[in-house]
Amino acid sequence: MVVGVLIFDGLAALDAIGPYEVLSRLPGADMRFLATESGPKRTETGHLSLVADYSLADVQAPEIVVVPGGFGTRRLLDDEELLSWIRSAHETSQWTTSVCTGSLLLGAAGILQGLRATSHWAALERLREFGAEPASERVVEEGKVMTAAGVSSGIDMALRLAARIAGEEVAKAIQLGIEYDPQPPFDSGSPAKAPPHLVELVRSVAEQREAEAAEKPLSP
Amino acid sequence: MVVGVLIFDGLAALDAIGPYEVLSRLPGADMRFLATESGPKRTETGHLSLVADYSLADVQAPEIVVVPGGFGTRRLLDDEELLSWIRSAHETSQWTTSVCTGSLLLGAAGILQGLRATSHWAALERLREFGAEPASERVVEEGKVMTAAGVSSGIDMALRLAARIAGEEVAKAIQLGIEYDPQPPFDSGSPAKAPPHLVELVRSVAEQREAEAAEKPLSP
CATH number, position B146: 3.40.50.880
**Which tens digit of pLDDT belongs to each residue from B41-93?**
999 999 999 999 999 999 999 999 999 999 999 999 999 999 999 999 999 99
> Beta-carbon neighbour count of residue A123 at 10 Å?
23
The structural domain count of chain A equals 1
Mean pLDDT within A67-77: 96
Report d(CA A55, CA A33) in Å as an integer.
8
Chain A (51-110) residues lying within 8 Å, Cβ to Cβ, of chain B? 51, 53, 100
**Percent of residues, chain B, with pLDDT higher than 90:** 94
Mean pLDDT within A97-113: 98
Q: The dihedral of CA B147, B149, B151, B154: what is its sign?
A: negative
A203 within a domain of the structure (yes/no): no
Strand runs labelled E in A63-162:
64-67, 95-99, 116-117, 133-134, 139-142, 145-148
Nearest to B176 among A153, A182, A202 (CB): A202
A216 within a domain of the structure (yes/no): no
pTM of the complete model: 0.96
How far is B120 from chain A, CA to nearest CA, in Å?
7
**Which tens digit of pLDDT belongs to each residue from B119-154?**
999 999 999 999 999 999 999 999 999 999 999 999
Query: Which of A180, A187, A197 has the highest number of chain B CBs within 10 A, making it the mutation to test binding with B?
Result: A180
Report d(CA A125, CA A114) in Å as an integer.
14
Q: Where are the alpha helices (DSSP H) in chain B?
A: 13-23, 80-92, 102-108, 153-166, 168-177, 196-215
The answer to whether residue A220 scores a pLDDT higher than 60 is no
Angle at B100 between CA B98 and CA B104, to 5 degrees: 70
Q: How many residues does the structure list for chain A?
A: 220
Chain B residue numbers touching A164 (CB-CB < 8 A): none
Find out whether B189 and B174 touch, Cβ atoms under 8 Å.
no
B200 within a domain of the structure (yes/no): no
pLDDT tier, B201 (very low <50, low <70, confident <90, very high otherwise): very high
A195 within a domain of the structure (yes/no): no
A200 within a domain of the structure (yes/no): no
A208 within a domain of the structure (yes/no): no
Query: Which of A161, A172, A197 has the highest number of chain B CBs within 10 A, making it the mutation to test binding with B?
Result: A172
Quick check: is B100 catalytic? yes
The pLDDT of residue A218 is 45
CB contact under 8 A, B172 and A186: yes
A204 within a domain of the structure (yes/no): no
Chain B residue numbers touching A121 (CB-CB < 8 A): 179
Domain span holding position B145:
2-184
The pLDDT of residue B169 is 97
B119 within a domain of the structure (yes/no): yes
The pLDDT of residue A216 is 63
The answer to whether residue A219 scores a pLDDT higher than 50 is no
